[in-house]
Amino acid sequence: MAAPAAARAISLERSRFRPGELLIRLLLGLCALVSVATTIGIVVALLQPAIDFFREVSIVDYLTGREWAPLFEPPHFGVQPLLVGTFVVTAVACAVAIPCGLGSAIFLSEYARPRVRGFLKPALEILAGIPTVVFGYFALTFVTPLLRDIGIQVEIFNGLSAGLVMGVMLIPTVASLSEDAMQGVPNALRDGAYALGSNKLQVATRVVVPAALSGIVASFVLAISRAVGETMIVLIAAGQQPTFTWDPRNAVETMTAFIAATGNGDVPRGSIEYKTIFAVGLTLFVITFVMNVIATRLVRRYREVYE
Amino acid sequence: MKAAVFRAFLLLSLAVGFVTLGALLYDVFSKGLPLLDGRLLTGLPSSLAEEAGARPAIFATIEMGLLLIAFVVPIGVGTAIYLEEYANKERWYNRLLEVNIANLAAVPSIVYGILGLAFLVRGLGLGRVLLAGAMILTLLVLPTVIIAAREAIRAVPSSIREGAYALGATRWQVVWRQVLPAALPGIATGAILALSRALGETAPLIMIGALTYVPFNPTLLGEFTALPVQIYDWIGQPGDDFRALAAAGIIVLLGIVLTLNAVAILLRNRYQKRW
């Protein structure tokens, strides 16, 4: 310790040994270890039973099978119905969240006066604070009947209303991250475009949005990742029927809904059904993890350019 | 013309969020308000909608909230202090720690439920108890608290630290007497927002068995249910009466969650220091 410390240019540490300071440092390090332990815990919790599962079910059958029926005799462990169910709901959610979130962000960043913005932004954040079980209730008891009233033939549980409501829930996610990215675009770029005779529309769509693009795309990826991982809305409103269907008007089961529905029951430990929770959980974790890594990379890229 | 259409599109996209929010609040209040009475707050759950209340669930939610704050604030702020004030950022393990926290923040909440099911409930043999629920929610919102606390600590100008060092303070004296007091409003805001998010969480609690009939006030090491889980249970019960009951429960939940959010925002606006 002594030799390298002396080599450093300025050291703020006193040279006298202070056990109290050392103890505090240790305690703080322990706090930091909690999050490391959480990650290790998640990986171990998922991996171990999942490996057991894939000893009994071949990974090829799991990924390519189109029938998901762990409780039937003979059981089928094809995850595709769950993947497609997740995809359908996510696609509907993105069809709402991406245009509305981006539109809101452009308005807040480029069009709204500071006072209007100061009011609208926190108001939009209310949406982000509403618990997902409430959105699920709203999708089931309000949106589904509404869809039927306007002539869209949906089942009682369906991917469409779950996806629509989830999309609205994700608007603040897209809007706030995209707006941050747009605020990071230097005013010099805007002024330059105005000086060349551009109008507000051209500045927003041809200068600000392209300049903030990586941050905007990151917000999209993050929204997709959150849609894939969202549980309560789909559990309540999309159904628990693992049918292989691309039609959002049908009942679909997502990966998250399957995990919650199975995990909530008293599944005997060690049974193949218990292990499916972890196999599907691992699949979900890998998908969201990859998307989060992409989003983080993209955010870092726009930060490097302008800050 | 094009500009007007574009502007209309922007306003429309903003309106989607607000109109839905309005419809949601109207729907919930119009259905739930007639049932929002003393019985809902003090009654026990029941298979009859007209007799059912949510007292055990509300108690459990409050208990878990208190436990959560007691767990997450020391651990979260401790981690933030370590990363901002102590850690050498050149070291690979500290960089890994940062990446790790960022990734944890984006792990779906249901995965934390799996973690709870595998380790707390079955691995440690804690069982399906309130303490396990509070611990899972703690881990779930820990990254949010760490990130908020780090931002608050980073916003304290280094001139304050240097001044304290110049007067002979030790590192911990600087942190405890200068940095933390200055960062307190930011930390409190982050903690309250995390609390609000945790109290609305349903999925991880379902995974560790909170979806159950609890006709008594929950204890730390006993079976429990929470307000959002109780609401989920009511949504699944047959009949319009239970739907209305769920709406009434949602009003209580929204009351708690949105009040916490409002407090956090007020705190931020009021005590935000400009250096």
Q: Do B110 and A135 touch (CB under 8 A)?
A: no
pLDDT for residue A15: 64
What is the per-residue pLDDT for A297? 84
ipTM score of complex:
0.92
Name the closest residue on chain A to residue B173, using Cα atoms: A21
Reduce the DSSP state of residue A77 to 3 states and report it. Answer: strand
Per-residue pLDDT 10s for chain B (275 aa) are: 888 999 999 999 999 999 999 999 999 999 998 888 878 888 888 777 777 888 899 999 999 999 999 999 999 999 999 999 998 888 889 889 998 998 999 899 999 999 998 887 777 777 788 999 999 999 999 999 999 999 999 999 999 999 999 998 889 999 999 999 999 999 999 999 999 999 999 999 999 887 777 777 887 778 888 999 999 999 988 888 889 999 999 999 999 999 999 999 888 888 766 66
**CA-to-CA distance for A221 and A261, rounded, in angstroms?**
27
Give which of B89, B111, B139, B174 to mutate to test A binding, by max A Cβ within 10 Å: B111
Q: What pLDDT is recorded for position A13?
A: 57
Residues 154-193 (B) with a CB less than 8 A from some CB of A: 165, 170-172
Q: Is B73 inside any structural domain?
A: yes
Task: Please judge whether B117 and A277 are an interchain contact, meaning their C-beta atoms are less than 8 angstroms apart.
Answer: yes
Mind telling me how many Å the CA of B177 is from chain A's nearest CA?
Answer: 14
pLDDT at site A6: 44
The tens-digit pLDDT sequence of chain A (307 residues) is 444 444 455 565 556 778 888 899 999 999 999 999 999 999 999 999 999 999 988 888 888 888 888 877 788 888 999 999 999 999 999 999 999 999 999 999 999 998 998 889 888 888 989 999 999 999 999 999 999 999 888 999 999 999 999 999 999 999 999 999 999 899 999 999 999 999 999 999 999 999 999 899 999 999 999 999 999 999 999 988 888 889 999 999 999 999 999 887 677 777 888 899 999 999 999 999 999 888 888 877 766 566 5
Does residue B43 lie within any of the structural domains? no
Amino acid A3: pLDDT: 45
What is the distance between the alpha carbons of residues A37 and A25, in angstroms, rounded to a whole number?
Answer: 18
Give the whole-angstrom CA distance, residue B147 versus residue B153: 10
User: Which residues from chain A sit within 8 angstroms of residue B211, using beta carbons?
Assistant: 264
Look at residue B262 and tell me if it is in a domain.
yes
CA distance B92 to B96: 6
Distance CA B186, CA B151 (A): 8
Give the per-residue pLDDT at A190: 94
CATH class (in words) of the domain with range A76-306:
mainly alpha
pLDDT, tens digit, 9 for 90 and up, residues B190-238: 999 999 999 999 999 999 887 777 777 887 778 888 999 999 999 988 8
- Structural contact between residues A132 and A232, judged by C-beta atoms closer than 8 angstroms: yes
Which residue in chain A is spatially nearest to B74 when comparing CA positions?
A31
Interface of B with A in 83-142 (CB under 8 A): 83, 86-87, 97, 99-104, 106-115, 117-119, 122, 139, 142
Q: Do residues A212 and A82 touch, judged by C-beta distance below 8 A?
A: no
Domain assignment present for residue B33? The answer is no
How distant is the Cα of A292 from the closest Cα of chain B, in angstroms? 7
Q: What domain range is B134 assigned to?
A: 56-271
- Contact assignment for B12 to A281 by CB distance below 8 Å: no
Name the residue ranges covered by the structural domains of chain A: 16-56, 76-306
Question: Residue A199 and residue A72: Cα distance in Å, rounded?
Answer: 63
CATH of the domain at B72: 1.10.3720.10
CA distances from A51 to A40, A278, B44, B192 (A): 16, 9, 43, 39
Size of interface A-B (CB pairs under 8 A): 254
Which residues in chain A have Cβ-Cβ distances shorter than 8 Å to B171?
Answer: 12-13, 21
SS3 of chain B: the string is: CHHHHHHHHHHHHHHHHHHHHHHHHHHHHHHHHHHCCHHHHHCCCCCCCCCCCCHHHHHHHHHHHHHHHHHHHHHHHHHHHHHHHHCCCCCHHHHHHHHHHHHHCCCCHHHHHHHHHHHHHHHCCCCCEHHHHHHHHHHHHHHHHHHHHHHHHHCCCHHHHHHHHHCCCCHHHHHHHHHHHHHHHHHHHHHHHHHHHHHCCCHHHHHCCCCCCCCCCCCCCCECCCHHHHHHHHHHCCCHHHHHHHHHHHHHHHHHHHHHHHHHHHHHHHHCCCC
- Reported pTM: 0.91
Cβ-contact A165, A135 below 8 angstroms: yes
Site of tokens 């309250």: B192
List B residues 33-92 in contact with A (Cβ-Cβ < 8 A).
74-76, 78-79, 81-83, 86-87
- Considering the domain boundaries, does residue B15 fall inside one? no
CA distance A84 to B121: 31
Q: Is B66 among the domain residues?
A: yes
- For tokens 């604030």, name the residue: B73
Number of compact structural domains in chain B? 1
Partner residue opposite B118 with nearest CB, options A45, A142, A293? A45
Tell me what pLDDT residue A231 has. 95
Contact B203 A132 (CB under 8 A): yes
Q: Which residues neighbour A131 within 8 Å (Cβ) at sequence distance 6 or greater?
A: A232, B199, B200, B201, B202, B228, B253, B254, B257
Tokens of A287: 């998908």
In a domain, B49, yes or no: no
Closest Cα in chain B to A122: B265
Give the chain A residue whose CA is nearest to the CA of B82: A28
> What is the per-residue pLDDT for A307?
54
Q: Chain A neighbours among B 186-245 (CB < 8 Å)? A: 196-197, 199-203, 206-207, 209, 211, 228, 231-232, 235-236, 243
Q: Do B107 and A289 touch (CB under 8 A)?
A: yes
